[in-house]
């Protein structure tokens, strides 16, 4: 279900039976969010993290608000608890292509199908409302749970390559995957 009421007129609120995806903004600043970004298990495969403060998070979310993008907080409906984020950014409208990313920051909710549920909702939105034809992602080969998720939701591997990871300043073996809109 898609609801168009949100703080950013072009970014809708998306819903499933268990989840509400709302545009990410400064209302989500919290100690828990900062803790996710500093949790070595959560940021192990991310290009950012490990040195977050409330101030740094506030500055980041201020930038998100100034340049709205398709970036949502993942909220549990039953408790109204923010447990992660999902985004499609950047988007190349000429090529009808977007780049996907997800983080379930609260480890208590890992392995519960939430990433799959949120991902399918956002992918459907991108294909059917934004008219994208392709969504891609890049992740570290050693992140086996990510590979399992991405394959389960229909992403196909494109190529293996080494690409620098800005945060950790090392080269890692990454996988690029794509999912295409079926015509």
pLDDT tens, the chain, 183 aa long: 444 444 455 899 999 999 999 999 999 999 999 999 999 999 998 887 788 999 999 999 999 998 889 999 999 999 999 999 999 999 999 999 999 999 999 999 999 999 999 999 999 999 999 999 999 999 998 999 999 999 999 999 975 555 554 444 444 588 999 999 985
- Residue 167 has a pLDDT of 43
Q: Helices in 54-169 by DSSP H: which ranges?
A: 54-66, 114-128, 144-152
- Tell me whether residue 119 is in a domain: yes
- Please tell me the predicted confidence (pLDDT) of residue 168: 47
In a domain, 26, yes or no: yes
Residue 160 domain flag: no
Number of structural domains the chain divides into: 1
- The pLDDT of residue 159 is 57
pLDDT of amino acid 48: 79
Question: What is the pLDDT, as a whole number, of residue 98?
Answer: 97
Domain assignment present for residue 166? The answer is: no
Going 57 to 36 to 13 to 135, the CA torsion angle's sign is positive
Q: What is the pLDDT of residue 109?
A: 97
pLDDT of residue 5: 40
Q: List the domain range (segments joined by +) for residue 91.
A: 2-136
Residue 180's pLDDT is 97
Helix axes 31-38, 54-66, angle to 10 degrees: 100
What is the CATH classification number for the domain harbouring 129? 3.40.630.30
In a domain, 71, yes or no: yes
Q: Within a domain: residue 103?
A: yes
pLDDT score, position 150: 97
Task: Find the Cα–Cα–Cα–Cα dihedral 56, 57, 59, 61, rounded to 10°.
Answer: 160
User: Is residue 175 included in any domain, yes or no?
Assistant: no
Q: Which residues pair with 140 in a beta bridge?
A: 174
Let me know if residue 75 belongs to a domain. Answer: yes
């Amino acid at each position: 279900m898609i609801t168009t009421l949100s703080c950013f007129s072009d970014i809708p609120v998306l819903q499933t039976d268990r989840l509400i995806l709302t545009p990410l903004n400064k209302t989500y600043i919290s100690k828990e969010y900062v803790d996710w970004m500093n949790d070595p298990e959560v940021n192990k495969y991310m290009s950012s993290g490990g040195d977050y403060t409330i101030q740094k998070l506030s500055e980041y979310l201020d930038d998100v608000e100034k340049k709205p993008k398709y970036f949502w907080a993942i909220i549990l409906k039953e408790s109204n608890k923010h447990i992660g984020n999902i985004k499609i950014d950047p988007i190349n409208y000429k090529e009808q292509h977007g780049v996907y990313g997800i983080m379930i920051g609260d480890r208590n909710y890992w392995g519960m199908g939430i990433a799959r549920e949120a991902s399918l909702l956002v992918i459907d939105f991108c294909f059917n409302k934004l008219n994208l034809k392709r969504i891609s992602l890049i992740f570290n080969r050693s992140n086996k749970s990510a590979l399992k998720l991405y394959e389960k939701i229909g992403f196909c591997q494109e190529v293996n390559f080494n690409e620098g990871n800005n945060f950790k300043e090392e080269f890692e073996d990454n996988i690029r995957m794509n999912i295409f809109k079926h015509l």
